[in-house]
Structure 1
Amino acid sequence: MTLDEDDRQRRLPAGRKAQLAAYVAETGQVTVSALAERFGVSIDTIRRDLDQLSADGVLVRTYGGAVSQSTLSRVDRAVDVRLKMEEREKEKIAVLAASLVEDGSIVMINGGTTTLAVARNLRNHRDLTVVTNSLLVPPALSPSAVRDVYVFGGAVRTLTLATIGPVSFRASGGSELDISCDLALIGVGAVSTAAGYTTSNLAEAAMMREMISRAARVAILADSSKFGRRLFAQVSELGGADYLVTDSTPPPDLLEALAENEVELITPDTREGAPEADQDPQ
């Protein structure tokens, strides 16, 4: 193809989309402005192209650009990318997890897109105390649902918009306050028979382990894409949780191991009477 032909092809919608998809796949991550300049079209046109390619499953739309599907094979992904992944599954898990929360209780919630969905589904609860390391959870909570909200201090991991630090608070005199909760809602990156619950970051794993140690009950949240995988840092063995909340039944070996460790499996099938997800816009 000559340069003139190539230029004409770029400006034809179907041809441009095909070349755009190929370019994103090759580059991995792109911005709208860079694509508009490369393909000689407006930013609005590129946005429409990306929206269509995202709807077709060719790439994943992010704020200000897009990433290729192959890029998603990385363990660590920015929060705006992960928000686009397994959205329906996360919403199912969030509804089920919210049903475990009792009015007037103290709940610890770790950072993550699944737990963020849980926070949004607590809108019908009342008088909750929520403690979290996520910067996204507090604004997602309905003011009518919470009595108090606390955020653990520490360094902010910009990839996940969550703090990494001790699960503690200090009194004005400097002494550490003893804290505990009724329920810990912990989203993890992988679940396996041998390794239990794991995540990709060592500091996050340590924080999640401490949340678990301070909880009367523990619910692990993980969609079915995370079954049979093991990541870098162990959060807990299987028996460290009271519940595994997920979107579908695990494979037989994991199902058997959960039963042996007395972990209650909660899925849409086991909770057929669970309330439907609230679809009101945020």
Structure 2
Amino acid sequence: MSTTIDSSSRRLPAGRKAELAAYVAETGQVTVANLAERFDVSPDTIRRDLDQLDADGVLIRTHGGAISLQAVPRPDTGLDVRLRLQTQAKDQIGVLAAGLVHDGAAIMINAGTTTLATARHLTDHRDLTIATNSLRLATELNPMAFRDLYVFGGVVRLSAQGTVGPVAFPAHSGADRDIRCDLALIGVGAVSADAGYSTSNLGEATMMREMMDRSARVAVLADSTKFGRRLFAQIADLGRADYLVTDAPPPPDLAEALREADVEVLTPAS
């Protein structure tokens, strides 16, 4: 007796997981409910598949779904998920950005995954004074690298694990002390020829601009997935930065705009 295979029958697990992985890579970010409906299996089966694919390094498991390793994360994507995206690019940027920091310098660093990568490459630096809004930075820094570490107060954004508030430290009299730094290392969400540097949160944009204004030099850190994009809140025009530190050369229109704005582009090949 011959056996026929109905095209609507369920796929074998290995085949389903391969198709599931391909679908996540194509879509970028998905939910368990969406996948269960698409592949006609239970949510528990999808969860097990996603857990296995995450363990295999194929995708990143998130609360309620998954995200592709190459995806551009949504603004509300948690820091722990974003830390696993574009890791090689961020590490390359971190090496270059750390090279701009001199021993004994006073620096500002905003909260973000690319700036955390930079912090990990400050291991051999010494006598730094660091001001940041990142609640995670202290865990990434070598304690021998800094003399003083200050964290700006404000409202805590859990997704960024950072604070949003004034770039200031009040004195005992109640007035804010004036602070100035040698270098600001600012990770941004988007870089475009017409909109400059932008991010998704208005309060963060204001804070990042103020960090720039209080620093003698400014290095913007952004991997190449940020090019040609514009997010809700503008931080500053292109010319506000002295350096753009990235993992790959910008596209021609952005490269020309950066040249006209006198911004030095630093890449691993430069």
Band of TM-score, shorter chain = 0.7 to 0.9
1:17–1:139 Cα change, 3 Å = same
What is the TM-score of this pair, normalised by structure 2?
A: 0.84
Task: State whether residues 61 and 84 of structure 1, in contact with CA within 8 Å, keep that contact through their aligned partners in structure 2.
Answer: no
- Matching residue of 1:51: 55
1:145–1:255 Cα change, 3 Å = same
- Matching residue of 1:220: 220
SS in 2 for 1:101: coil
1:266–1:73 Cα change, 3 Å = closer
- Matching residue of 1:39: 45
1:214–1:40 Cα change, 3 Å = closer
1:72, distance to aligned residue in structure 2 (A): 5.0
- Matching residue of 1:28: 30
1:142, distance to aligned residue in structure 2 (A): 0.1
| Structure 2 Cα separation of the partners of residues 204 and 136 of structure 1 | 16
1:113–1:27 Cα change, 3 Å = closer
| Structure 2 Cα separation of the partners of residues 68 and 247 of structure 1 | 22
- Matching residue of 2:185: 185
Q: Is 1:67 equivalent to 2:82 in the alignment?
A: no
1:181–1:125 Cα change, 3 Å = same
Task: State whether residues 29 and 71 of structure 2, in contact with CA within 8 Å, keep that contact through their aligned partners in structure 1.
Answer: no
SS in 2 for 1:28: strand
1:158, distance to aligned residue in structure 2 (A): 0.8
- Matching residue of 2:171: 171
1:67, distance to aligned residue in structure 2 (A): 1.4
| Structure 1 Cα separation of the partners of residues 128 and 71 of structure 2 | 38
Q: Is 1:103 equivalent to 2:100 in the alignment?
A: no
Return the letter of the residue paired with 1:258.
L
Task: State whether residues 28 and 72 of structure 2, in contact with CA within 8 Å, keep that contact through their aligned partners in structure 1.
Answer: no
Equivalent runs, 1:89-168 vs 2, <5 Å: 89-168=89-168
Return the letter of the residue paired with 2:129.
T
| Structure 2 Cα separation of the partners of residues 224 and 254 of structure 1 | 11
- Cα displacement string for residues 120-150 of structure 1 (whole angstroms, at most 9, x for unaligned residues): 1100100001110011111110011110101
| Structure 1 Cα separation of the partners of residues 120 and 29 of structure 2 | 34
How many residue pairs get aligned? The number is 255
Return the letter of the residue paired with 2:221.
L
Task: State whether residues 21 and 53 of structure 2, in contact with CA within 8 Å, keep that contact through their aligned partners in structure 1.
Answer: no
| Structure 2 Cα separation of the partners of residues 237 and 204 of structure 1 | 16
Task: State whether residues 126 and 145 of structure 1, in contact with CA within 8 Å, keep that contact through their aligned partners in structure 2.
Answer: yes
Structural RMSD (CA): 3.0
- Matching residue of 1:259: 259
- Cα displacement string for residues 58-88 of structure 1 (whole angstroms, at most 9, x for unaligned residues): x3235x7751339856343211221111111
Task: State whether residues 184 and 211 of structure 1, in contact with CA within 8 Å, keep that contact through their aligned partners in structure 2.
Answer: yes
1:26–1:84 Cα change, 3 Å = closer
1:228, distance to aligned residue in structure 2 (A): 1.1
Percent identity, aligned pairs only, is 56
SS in 2 for 1:220: strand
Return the letter of the residue paired with 2:197.
Y
| Structure 1 Cα separation of the partners of residues 165 and 148 of structure 2 | 20
Task: State whether residues 152 and 166 of structure 2, in contact with CA within 8 Å, keep that contact through their aligned partners in structure 1.
Answer: yes
| Structure 2 Cα separation of the partners of residues 26 and 219 of structure 1 | 29
1:245, distance to aligned residue in structure 2 (A): 0.5
Return the letter of the residue paired with 1:38.
D
Which stretch of structure 1 is more off in the superposition, 22-31 or 118-127? 22-31
1:68–1:246 Cα change, 3 Å = closer
